[in-house]
Structure 1
Amino acid sequence: MTRKQRRLSVIAGLGVVLALAVGLILFALRDQIVFFYSPTEIHEKAVAAGTPVRLGGLVKQGTWKKDGDKNDFVVTDGTTDMLAHYTGILPDLFREGQGVVVEGAVAGDGSFAATNVLAKHDEKYMPKEVVDELKAKGEWQRGEAGG
C-alpha cells in the first residue's frame, strides 16, 4: 500500500468513526429534543398527544382562571387558540396579553398539559419564530410587552 493510499484509508476510517459518534449522540438525545410550535402549527401538523413540545404565543386576555395551584389559560398566536393547563406557581412576569412559552404535551382532549411555564416580557427573550409570527398577524405590541 502506498503512502497516499494509507493516508486516504486513515481519513476514511476517521470519517466513519466520526459519523458513528454523531449518530450515537443524536440517538441518545432523541428523547431530549423538544420542538417549538405556535398554536396554529400544533393544529395544522396534528401533533400527537403525549409528544413533548413547546407552545409559544400570547396569553389571551380574559382567559386566565386560577384555582389554588391550578391555572388554566389560553395561548394564542392571533389565528388559533389553545387551552393550557398548568399546576404550580406561575412566574412573576406571567400576565394576560404577555408572551409565554409553555413546555409540556398535547393532551388527548386537544388542550395542552403544561409542565413548565416561561413568561416573556420582550422579544429579546422570546423565540424569533413566535415574534415573527405575531408581528405578521399584527398581534405583537411592543409597548404592552414591557419593552
Structure 2
Amino acid sequence: MKPRHKRIALALGVVAGLGVAVALVLNAFQSNLVFFYSPSQVAAKEAPLDRTFRIGGLVEAGSVKRDGTQVSFVVTDTLKTVSVQYEGILPDLFKEGKGVVAQGRLQGDRFVAREVLAKHDENYMPPEAADALDKAKQVNAQMGKTGAQP
C-alpha cells in the first residue's frame, strides 16, 4: 500500500470514529431529555404517552391521600387537574397548595411518578410551572370578564 493510500485510510478511519462518537453522544442526550408539561397540556393530550416527562403545578388542597408509602394527589394549574400516583417518601417541603414537579409517565388518565420535587423556598418555582400558572390565571381572568363557563 502506498503512503498516500495509508493516509487516506487513516483519515477515513478517524472521520468514521468521530461519526460514531457523535452518534452515541446524541443518542444518549436524546434518551435523557425530559420535557415539562402543565396539567392543561396533559389534559389536551399534548404530553407523550410512551416517554417520561415532567408535570408541574400546585398540589390541590385536600387531594393528598396516603397509604403507607403509596401517595396520591392532584396537580393543578388552576385550569385543569391531573391525578398523580407516587410510591416512596415525599420531600419534607411537599404540602397542599404548594408548587410541585413530578417526573414519570402517563398510565391511562393517571400520572405515575418516579420522582417528586417540591419547591425549596418561599420564592422558587420552576420557570415552566410558573409560566403555566400565569397562563392559567390569564385564561381564568379572561373567562371572568366574558362570563364564560369553563
Give the TM-score of the pair, scaled to structure 1.
0.72
CA RMSD of aligned residues (A): 2.6
SS in 1 for 2:41: helix
Does the C-alpha gap of structure 1 residues 26 and 123 become closer, same or farther in structure 2, counting only changes over 3 Å? farther
SS in 2 for 1:131: helix
Q: Which residue of 2 aligns with 1:52?
A: 52
Query: Which stretches in structure 2 are left out of the alignment for 5+ residues?
Result: 1-15, 139-150
Q: What amino acid does structure 2 have at the position aligned with 1:114?
A: A
Q: Which residue of 2 aligns with 1:91?
A: 91
Q: Which residue of 2 aligns with 1:114?
A: 113
Give the TM-score of the pair, scaled to structure 2.
0.71
SS in 1 for 2:131: helix
Relative to its length, the structure with more helix (as a share) is 2
Q: Which residue of 2 aligns with 1:134?
A: 133
Does the C-alpha gap of structure 1 residues 61 and 95 become closer, same or farther in structure 2, counting only changes over 3 Å? same
Larger Rg: 2
Aligned residues: 125
Contact 2:37 2:47 in 1 (8 A): no
Does the C-alpha gap of structure 1 residues 19 and 79 become closer, same or farther in structure 2, counting only changes over 3 Å? farther
Separation in 1, partners of 2:116, 2:40: 19
